[in-house]
Amino acid sequence: NILVIGSNGQIGTELVIALRNIYGDSNVIACDLQPSKQIELSAGPFEVVNVLDKQVVSDVFKKYKPTQVYLLAALLSATGEKNPALAWDLNMNGLFHVLDLAIEFKTAKVYWPSSIAVFGPNSPKHNTDQFCVMDPNTVYGISKLAGERWCEYYFQKYGLDVRSIRYPGLISWKAMPGGGTTDYAVHIFHEALKNKSYQSFLSATTELPMMYMDDAIRGTLELMDAPADNLRIRSAYNFAGVSFTPEILAEEIKKHIPEFKLGYVENDPRQLIANSWPASINDDYARTDWGWKPNYDLAKITSDMLENIKKTVY
């Protein structure tokens, strides 16, 4: 059995679908605060789980004896700044509950997502290395950096096979992102189709590392399938797709919707968060250790997003 805790989120939704395609619907248990409204997720078992309630999480471990657990529940960067105490509590204690129960129930593998948010204003801006200065200044980034340290600690001290990836901004159409700084890169496609215009909360030249969800899910499963001995990183792997700015993305969208207009909203708090993050990431460790390679460039992301949103949403 495989548990996916935080199954209603942007990543969780797609992980449940991908894992059920591989392991069978009944062997992947979707866990979140309430059942998903998406029909795809109704194909298999669901458990109401608040990851902060250790007893509830323990009961689910006991019931399913999972061989793998994916913990996706978290508050993202923008939401976390509005509620620092809850962000720290959920992101950290949720992780501790899962790490400790995975040891107690001898779970073979644990997956926990990190983020490029672990880098900060003094980290190198371009082609940012796996190891470098990391001074995150968002609660989300601080919790992800701390979480990476704890994952490596549980691996080294207790031999727990926990694996992690520093995701860039993720672009998907099956589930909306929730409270991130990179969410503009998803909303822009919906607005382009609906209104042929979008007001970006990040400035024209804000370059950020991004990735299509199909690449992110495939890479995650490739990491989880890699032989443990190949993995040099037990904090979280740098992981890169494609970097771009809102104006570069708008130019790509105009190839499909020529009359698309991109405007900008000033003084959004997410601009300060974006300014603290790298523009591009070096993922050589992932390429070497588990053969990582992205398939989607910006042209493919744009055509795939517009085509799928047109088909499913409007």
Residue pair 61/71 in contact (Cβ under 8 Å)? The answer is no
Q: Which is nearer to ligand VAH, 98 or 117 (CB)?
A: 117
| Binding segment toward ligand VAH, per CB under 6 A, in 13-21, 92-100, 113-121, 249-257 | 113-121
Regarding 182 and contact with ligand VAH (CB under 6 A), the answer is yes
Per the annotation, the verdict on 296 as an active-site residue is no
Q: Distance (Å, rounded) from C-alpha 125 to C-alpha 279?
A: 6
Using the contact rule CB under 6 A, the part of the chain among 23-31, 176-184, 188-196, 299-307 near ligand VAH is 176-184
Chain Cα centroid distance, residue 266: 26
Q: How many CA atoms lie within 13 A of 118 on its CB side?
A: 28
Any idea which residue has 């061989």 for tokens? 67
Stretch that binds ligand VAH, among 31-39, 45-53, 54-62, 115-123 (CB under 6 A): 115-123
What's the start-to-end Cα distance of the chain, in Å? 36
Under 8 Å between Cβ of 189 and 228 = no
Please say whether the beta carbons of 182 and 169 come within 8 A.
Answer: yes
Residue with tokens 């298999």: 44
**Residue 60 or 117: which CB sits closer to ligand VAH?**
117
Q: Which of residues 69-88 bind ligand VAH (CB under 6 A)?
A: 76-77
250, containing H or E segment: helix 246-254
User: Does position 116 bind ligand VAH by CB under 6 A?
Assistant: yes
Binding mask 133-172 for ligand VAH (x = CB under 6 A): -------x--------------------------xxx---
DSSP code for 128 = B
Nearer Cβ to ligand VAH (2/117) = 117
The CB-nearest residue to ligand VAH is 180
Which element (helix H / strand E) includes 139?
helix 139-158
Q: Which of 143, 181, 200, 238 binds ligand VAH (CB under 6 A)?
A: 181
Interface residue with ligand VAH, options 120, 177, 219, 241 (CB under 6 A): 177
- Residue from 12, 66, 136, 180 touching ligand VAH (CB under 6 A): that is 180
Total chain residues near ligand VAH (CB under 6 A): 13
d(Cα 17, Cα 24) in Å, to the nearest integer?
Answer: 10
User: Using alpha carbons only, how large is the chain's radius of gyration in Å?
Assistant: 19
Q: Pick the closer one to ligand VAH by CB: 147 or 177.
A: 177
Catalytic option among 70, 111, 140, 285 = 140
Distance CA(309)–CA(172), nearest Å, equals 10
Residues that bind ligand VAH (CB under 6 A): 76-77, 115-117, 140, 167-169, 177, 180-182
Which sequence positions are flagged as catalytic? 140
